Amino acid sequence: MNQKAPSEPKLTNATIICSLAFLASCFMFAYLSYVGVSRTGLMTPVIFGCVVALIAMRPLVDSDKQTALYFAFGVLTVMIIFVYETYGYTGKVRNFPLIIGYTGIVICVLDILSLSNRVVGTTITRTFGSQLDESEMGGRKVKRELITFAAMGGCVLGLWLFGFLVFSPIFVGVWMLAGGKTVKNALFGCIFTLFFNYFLFEVAFQYELYRGKLFIWLLDL
């Protein structure tokens, strides 16, 4: 208690202005709810408030945690959309979802605040537990992540077009080649995948795997 609190970084003009704008959006939301504006109308101050809150928070968060901040705001957006959608239902249907939605919004706000390098952030982190393991955050390259997502998306697209039996071996082979494996190893991987899928599902389980949209189109022709 007697320890002197570490000095906080100075607030930037952007943070101050956006914080004031955020407060204004909160008042606007309260007023619009009071006068009984529709839920779509209420979304205007909510969206405005989220945008200015993001701008206000950015300088308060260390550079290595910026992506975590964007992710936290993404999650908050999901919660807000969920609450908005829930108000579209009536009666008892929305009771429990609303409890969950509002709880989610409160926790998301705590999550966002916990990322800040100010006293409020460290207090929340210490009180509730929200410590970010920075070594886990640093070892990942966004480009590599996007390539992997694209590969997974491409895989699903390929499976949709060509079916499991045709595309699975191709996917495995191409991935192994791209990962620096020899052609022989990649070929082995292809054959293994083909036989595994064919014997396990088509022969052992007597299950017809998806043949692919192209095959279905060809049959239609």
Interacting residues with other proteins between 7 and 36 (CB under 8 A): none
Contact 117, 60 (CB under 8 A): yes
Amino acid in the structure at residue 214: L
Site string for other proteins, 142-161 (x = CB under 8 A): --xx--xx--xx-xx--xx-
- Stretch 72-111 residues interacting with other proteins (CB under 8 A): 72, 75, 78-79, 82, 85, 89, 91-93, 95-97, 100-101, 103-104, 107-108, 110-111
Tell me, what DSSP letter sits at residue 115?
Answer: T
* Given 5, 10, 133, 219, the residue binding other proteins (CB under 8 A): 133
Binding residues for other proteins, rule CB under 8 A, total 71
Q: Does 61 bind other proteins (CB under 8 A)?
A: no
Distance CA 144, CA 94 (A): 41
Q: Provide, rounded to whole angstroms, the least separation between the CB of residue 179 and other proteins.
A: 3
Nearer to other proteins, 42 or 107 (CB): 107
* Given 4, 10, 141, 184, the residue binding other proteins (CB under 8 A): 141
Distance CA 16, CA 216 (A): 60
Q: Does 6 bind other proteins (CB under 8 A)?
A: no
Query: H or E element: which one contains 73?
Result: helix 66-86
- Stretch 182-221 residues interacting with other proteins (CB under 8 A): 185, 189, 192-193, 196-197, 201, 205, 207, 209-210
- Closest among 59, 74, 162, 78 to 116, alpha carbons compared: 59
Distance CA 66, CA 122 (A): 16
Written as six digits, the tokens of 24 are 């204004």
